[in-house]
């Protein structure tokens, strides 16, 4: 897996100290952080880092196509550094736990031509929902 900073550099995008800290914070963990969670953690390494820079940087990384923006609930957006590996998400309706998953088929292939309304369909993402093991146990 070519790391995020390397991928970003290919876009002739200046890797400032702030941008490096943000990218490394984003990639360092395997969860899907919100902007404020990234700020919270990045600030431990760079105390003067501002909220505006975190938002600006995340938006730029999304525009470059190197980070995915997930809007799975109506709360904060979440950022996913794993943009170079096609995958979907499985979310627990009890506690919000989120897992990356891989489906056996490309959902675009399962959309018949007469359901496309003339669109040029380029991609599809699946959101699976259910209960995680702990929330199942808590419920019964």
Partner DNA sequence: TCCTTCTTTAGACATAGTCTAAGCTAGGAT
Partner DNA sequence: ATCCTAGCTTAGACTATGTCTAAAGAAGGA
Residues that bind a copy of itself in the complex, under the rule CB under 8 A = 69, 71-74, 77, 90, 92-93, 99, 101-105, 107-108, 110-112, 115-133, 136
Are the beta carbons of 81 and 27 closer than 8 angstroms? yes
Distance CA 73, CA 76 (A): 8
Tell me the three state secondary structure of residue 117: coil
Residue 69: strand pairing partners: 79
66 binds Mn ion per the rule CB under 5 A: no
Q: How far is the CB of 93 from a copy of itself (least distance, A)?
A: 8
Are the beta carbons of 99 and 89 closer than 8 angstroms? yes
Q: Candidates 27, 56, 88, 131: give the one binding DNA (CB under 7 A).
A: 56
Q: How far is the CB of 8 from a copy of itself (least distance, A)?
A: 22
Tell me the three state secondary structure of residue 75: coil
Residues in the chain: 140
**Residue 116 phi, psi (nearest 5):** -95, -10
94 binds Zn ion per the rule CB under 5 A: yes
- The residue (of 29 and 127) whose beta carbon lies closer to a copy of itself is 127
Of 1, 132, 4, which Cα lies nearest the Cα of 68? 4
- The residue (of 1 and 108) whose beta carbon lies closer to Zn ion is 108
**Residue 33 phi, psi (nearest 5):** -80, 155
Which does residue 13 bind out of Mn ion, a copy of itself, DNA, none, counting CB within 5 to 8 angstroms by kind? DNA
Binding site for Zn ion (CB under 5 A): 92, 94-95, 97, 132, 135
Sites of contact with DNA (CB under 7 A): 13-14, 16-19, 34-36, 46, 48-53, 55-57, 59, 74-77
Q: Which residues bind Mn ion (CB under 5 A)?
A: 80, 100
């Amino acid at each position: 897996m070519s790391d995020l900073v390397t991928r970003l550099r290919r876009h002739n995008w200046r890797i400032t100290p702030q941008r490096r800290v943000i990218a490394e914070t984003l990639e360092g963990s395997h969860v899907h952080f919100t902007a404020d969670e990234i700020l919270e953690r990045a600030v431990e390494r760079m105390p003067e880092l501002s909220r505006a820079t975190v938002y600006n940087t995340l938006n730029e990384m999304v525009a470059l196509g190197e980070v995915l923006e997930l809007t799975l609930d109506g709360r904060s957006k979440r950022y996913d550094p794993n943009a170079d590996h096609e995958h979907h998400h499985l979310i627990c309706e009890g506690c919000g736990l989120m897992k990356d998953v891989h489906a056996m088929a490309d959902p675009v292939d399962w959309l018949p031509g007469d359901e496309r309304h003339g669109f040029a369909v380029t991609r599809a993402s699946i959101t699976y929902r259910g209960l995680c093991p702990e929330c199942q146990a808590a419920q019964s």
